[in-house]
Chains A and B, each alone.
Chain A
Amino acid sequence: MTSKDFKAIRLRLSENSGVYHYLYIKQNVVREACKEKPSDKTLFVMGIPPYFTENCISHLFQQCGAISNVYIHDKPSFELPKVPVSKFFERKRLLGFKVAYVVFESTDSLKKALKLKKHLTLQTEDYKPLVGVQKWCQEYNDRIPNIVELQYEVDAFITDFDEKCREERLRQKQLMEADGEGWVTVTRKGRNPGFARKQTVKEKILEKQKKKNKKLLNFYAFEIKESKMNHLELLRKKFEEDKQKIEALKKARKFRPFV
């Protein structure tokens, strides 16, 4: 599959608009096909402007035949779009230009769509996307939650979460008991807790091992001499660093008091 397979079709936002947008379409042919997006019935559309919704897309292509589903993603995907878990939390919006999978009910519709010559038109009398000030007002209103619903959802989640936590604790407890061969999984709970499974803990342990190899410093005469030389090196290094700083300042013409 190459980019050349795509076909560009023109799109007008309204009947009397003189400006064309371009959509890029092709049949959805992929190796690991998703069963909801059958390749013989699915049209793959790219270059969809940010404010287009599923409704807009199906409105555009319904002239080719009945549409069973439209999936919108921010980039090509083998999966289905995620359904938001909650009405109030972790709602993510797709940003920027999008891609869409238009699933027709019949293969013929797909063929028809691929042969489209005439430009498409989005806005007819009966259909208008929600944009602009009206959309923002709507969003403002939508942001105000129904307190009862919110409370209900939170309560349901917390009950569910508590249940899960209890199950997890139970599972860990079971793990701590010896299995058939007498093996015990060490967890953080119980009489003999193990280490936390953290990167920092691992680093700390490694650090400790290093410390064990500590030696007496500056014991022998040569060591003292060496440490002095190191000090000298340090002074030199500092001097060199300062010199570099000056070089940098010089480059920036910092030493001309008056220009």
Chain B
Amino acid sequence: MTQLLNNEASIDESEDEPSGEESEVEENSEEASASTQEGKRKFSQVSDEGEVPDSSKKTKTESEVPKRIRPPTAAELNRLRETENLFHSNLFRLQIEETLKESKPKDAVLDKTKTWLKQLKTILWNIEETDPTKVSELSWLKEKKIRPPIKLNAVELEEEFAFKKPSKIEVVGSYSLGYFLGSTIAIDLAVQIPQIIFGKKDHQNERYHRKRSLYLCHIANALLSNSTIVNEDMHFTLQNHNFTKPVLVVKPCGSLGNKITVYIHCVVSMSMCKPTKLAPNRNNIKSSWFLDKEVNEEDEPATPFYNSSILEDMVTLSNEILRKKIFTENPKFKDAMSLLKIWLRQRKLNEGVGSFSNYMMSMFLVYLFQIRRLNKFMSSYQILRNVWIVLSQANWTTEGISLQPAVKSEPEGPSVPSISDFHAAFEVVFIDLTGLHNICSSLSKTVYLKVKRESALALETLDNSSVNSFQSLFMVPISFLQHYDNVIHFRDLSFMRSVIRKHSPQEKQLDSTKNVIRQFTSLIISLVENGLGDRVSQIGIQTQPAPLKWSIKSKPSSIQDSISVLVGLMLNSETAFSVLQKGPDANVPEAKGFRQFWGSKSELRRFRDGTVCEATIWAEDNAPLKEKRITTQHMLTYLLDFKLNLKMPQYQYVSNQTENFLDNNQFIPHGFKYGTGEEACLQVMSAFDQLGKQLRSLKNLPLDISTLIGTSPVFRYADVFPPLAQTLSPNPAVTTVNEGCVIFNGLELNKCTNYIPAIDGVIHLIGSGKWPDDIAAVRRIKAAFYVKLAELLRVVHRLVCQPYPEYLSVIKDGFVFRLKIFYSGEVTLLKRRRNEEDLIEYHDTEESLELERNLVHLPQITSALHGLHLKYPSFGPACALAKRWLNSQLLDDFHFPSIIAELLVASSYTSPHPHSPAFNPQTVFLRFLALLSQTDWNTEPLVVNFNSEMPANVVVELEKKFREERDSFPPLVIFTPYDESGTVWSKDSPSPVIFIRTVKLASQALQKFETNLLMMDASLEVAGLFVPPLDAYNIVIRLKVSMLPRQWYAIDAPTNISKHQLQAPNSSKLPISDFDPAQCFLKELRENYDEFALFFHDTYGGSVIGVLLKPTVLESCEFKAKFFNGRCPSGDKQNSSLTFNVDALIEDFKTIGAGLVESVTLQK
């Protein structure tokens, strides 16, 4: 055998493999990742192109290998092995490569960039020097109207400024290191300001910053006169969102301008000032200057943030040398960095105030290389993994890291501040090469913790065998509103300013001077942390717009004022919904602090264990869940008012605006608190459980009852309007009573009775071999069973019952239950048929599928979803919202089965990536819309893997099958552990047309929800999104509102109707249940006019039916018998052609819906 074949054999045997570890890895990819984590394994050389195969060997092999198999080339083998060892999977690797390709600009562009950059540098080098001039008299300020990015006051305008040529101009950052993000190239240009410009004390009181900004203005001015090369439309932006650190944004002229953006930063040399003066414990902003207050030199507070904003510019170039060296030595770092940047940006972690900047990330890679966690043999995937592992484990808030070589620090001794100095001054510590500067000085603790969490989540996602880990890590932008349970939206910088002036500690004001948002967010965060404690599991901040950018000729304040701040809270389900906040024991000293913090809200309470403690109470103990869910909102609103004097229209609290659409104010039994329906669901379930017990206790049945299982949405907490026990008494004008039931008396019905839904349940009998082998006989036996059961229940338990041939109706505690017996053999009997050989075969039929769906699958899925709700109590109301929205778009159960909506919602808990499960229904609802609109359903099935019951390999198999036989599947495919066919629920509906429409509606709705929820009066703005557009329909049928039993549920139902007198239900008779004329009408329309039109209606009180004619219907067709239905003869000659008879159709609608239809209008 040739060497090559040996090599090939090693793929599965690995006997001749040089390194033993490698073979281990091949056998078990799980281990591969584990050992990468340890960072111990040896690394083999990675090459993306692979080695050029040795041609002589290749010819040799060809003769030995059977002809049908192409012999493997060395390159191919290398690649296959590499993938198994160094990447997650083939797919993951391909996706990485593809993404990197996409984010790399074209070579031609890069060439052009090079030449243009040279030109730009020449201009910068050749800017003429000027003599000292008063700022107010600078020509560019007067004539060209360039506004300095840092506002100058009258005194400062009188200072002098002279431009001197830069001492260095260097390209730094991603462009010089060779990694890109997207098709536009961002180039960072560091211009070193010569030392002569600065005076001795320029590091104090922002003098440095002002000069720096003037220097930038001067450069901008010079560039303005080179308009053939540089686009005149220049902007300022900020470095790390620091308002004292402007950056000039320059674009080339012409088409190149769309591809390149240059950021001109100013830096200074180390000789700018003595580094010790800028140590974190030193003061450089004098109170006298900033606050107009004389303070002793010793009492001036330290200004670490300010100091580091200067230090940053001093050390940039020396750090850059190290970074460049390491990135050039390790080409794979570039790929990894690109991916990490994408990852950060999708999470908006590298934007806005306190962000985790790309610079921090790249320096972190440098750090990891230095401590040998990374090496040059690692693939980009392994680098990512290691970065995430270290990030998720490290804690820079207490154990900061340092790039400074350890040996050096000693001889220099006191000149370098100690790490504890840094920790005292900064929230997060990552010390640079020089040991002077904290790279993470601007990073806020909140964002840092979020990065840590996201890293841990990223690792989890990688280990999750789900195919889409790549997508959710890199391709999905993360919406803030979908990510957090509650979002608070602050806008209007002016009131933030006033809040800070009053409430921010003075040393902070001094340190962050112009950085209002920075102070404001830290105020809010500390309020949240202190006030809500462990009720909140994660906090997020986002500033909009990010990045800030304004034209060089406009006032910096114009854009700064438009900044808004979003604070997101992820709730801790275990504590967040408790209406009581227990404080310290009344006698201990902490009690005073508690009282001070909460003010008048705090009260003394005696607890069950006998202690007397301070406590705050936010709702009544028996409040419905809807109220309890917003406890955190109550607390925070109170605190914002009490502590910062902020009141509602000054900020928006996005939490439960959409829940208004689940309100049911009409028929609430006296004293019952409805909320969003969970309590009503519980009532139904407890009645049902009771009924189950009573059924099981029955004796003298031919077969005993083993269990009773509910199948209606109410058992999954997912009913939009769960049934309520007390109902209106029947309308005596139109009803009468026969033996056991209320029935209609035959008079014309002009006002519909109240809607009483029937709640479905399935009875399981103990197994028996005595069932007949014939479907008709089984049905009769079941009917006999219903009759028998009714009789027994009536006698033994005094329940009101009515047997029907197909089911049994029982009233229990004011609810109407409809019970069906399940016999497993029935499905088989329905499937059975004889084939041409007279052999028995089993085939799915419509009937068997329906029976299986309702009596086999539905109970299973109901119990799974019920369990899900118990774990994540936002599930039920989120489903209700989703269904309410679908119905409001006239997509009822017929078009979009409600169980599918429920499964879509469920998947946001079973596979929440890139989020974590949410505890606020509205958030889940937004995710539902996002899932619906942002998934490519053509290539992806939905996998709802309850409790991960399906092993990974099964899921992979299912997905593979799905891809291979895509055409044989319906548009939406849902795999669950109970349904590996993926089609049980979605086989017939939604149809492709309806599904496309739903997706489109969802994407529009999502967009509007996300903008409207942040508006001033969110609940009003949102209301419009639950109103259906009617212009798409050919015919609109309006129904008489008085005939709709569910009229009170309608979105547009008047809210001020007088409350109906509630009476105890007449429980001696079965009331008129499950009777809704609108549903009868729809059913008749759909059954009879299926071939011509689609009908759309809102089940919950909709008074409109939209009719969409099928496009082919309106075409004129030949005079043929198969086209006679619904058409009339047309054309000149007799019997020549047929056209559709729309008028007759409209008359048919009126006839069929006599008594219900108000009007039928034909639309264009």
Interface residues of A (CB under 8 A from B): 3-4, 6, 8, 13, 17, 19-22, 24, 46-47, 49-51, 88-90, 95-97, 129, 131-134, 136-141, 143-145, 147, 150-151, 153-155, 157-158, 161, 165, 196-200, 202, 225-226, 228-229, 231-233, 235-236, 238-239, 241-243, 245-246, 248-250, 252, 254-258
Contact = CB atoms under 8 A, between A and B. Distances in A.
Contacts of A6: 1119, 1121, 1124, 1135
Contact of A51 (B11, B741, B838, B1152): B1152
Interface stretch (B243-251, B1094-1102, B1125-1133): B1125-1133
B941 interface: no
Contact of A145 (B11, B777, B805): B805
Nearest to B1080: A136
Contacts of A49: 1144, 1148
B871 to A, nearest CB: 32
B894 to A, nearest CB: 15
B210 to A, nearest CB: 35
Contacts, number: 239
Given A21-B1147, A50-B1089, A88-B783, A144 B804 contact: yes
Contacts of A17: 1147
Contacts of A196: 840
B776 interface: yes
A161 B776 CA distance: 10
Nearest to B474: A257
B841 interface: yes
A226 B83 CA distance: 23
A256 B98 CA distance: 9
A154 B738 CA distance: 22
B69 A232 contact: yes
A47 B1156 contact: no
Contact of A22 (B94, B779, B840, B1128): B1128
Query: Could you say which interface size class chain B belongs to?
Result: 35 or more
A17 B1143 CA distance: 11
B322 interface: no
B103 A157 contact: no
Nearest to A130: B1154
A254 B1152 contact: no
Interface string B90-132: 1100110011011100000000000000000000000000000
Contacts of A155: 784
B772 A255 contact: no
A45 B33 CA distance: 75
Interface string B305-349: 000000000000000000000000000000000000010011000
13 contacts: A4-B1135, A19-B1144, A47-B1125, A51-B1152, A147-B803, A157-B777, A161-B772, A196-B840, A198-B840, A226-B66, A242-B94, A245-B963, A248-B939
Interface string B484-506: 00000000000000000000000
B746 interface: yes
Nearest to B69: A229
Nearest to B1155: A133
Contacts of A136: 1075, 1077, 1080-1081
Given A96-B1091, A197-B840, A249-B939, A131 B1154 contact: yes
B8 A50 contact: no
Given A199-B835, A242-B91, A255-B98, A150 B1155 contact: no
Interface in B829-849: 835, 838-842
B1154 A252 contact: no
B1153 to A, nearest CB: 6
Given A141-B743, A157-B776, A252-B936, A150 B783 contact: yes
A248 B966 CA distance: 13
Contacts of A238: 90
B94 A246 contact: yes
B423 to A, nearest CB: 35
B65 interface: yes
Contacts of A13: 1147, 1151
Contacts of A140: 743-744, 1072, 1075
A201 to B, nearest CB: 8
B584 interface: no
Nearest to B791: A147
A225 B13 CA distance: 12
Nearest to B338: A257
B779 A50 contact: no
Contacts of A50: 1084, 1087-1089, 1148, 1152
A183 B167 CA distance: 114
Nearest to B834: A197
A19 B963 CA distance: 52
Contact of B1135 (A8, A97, A228, A232): A8
Contacts of B1072: 140
B774 interface: yes
Contacts of A232: 8, 11, 69, 72
B80 A239 contact: yes
A24 B804 contact: no
Contacts of A134: 748-749, 1154-1155
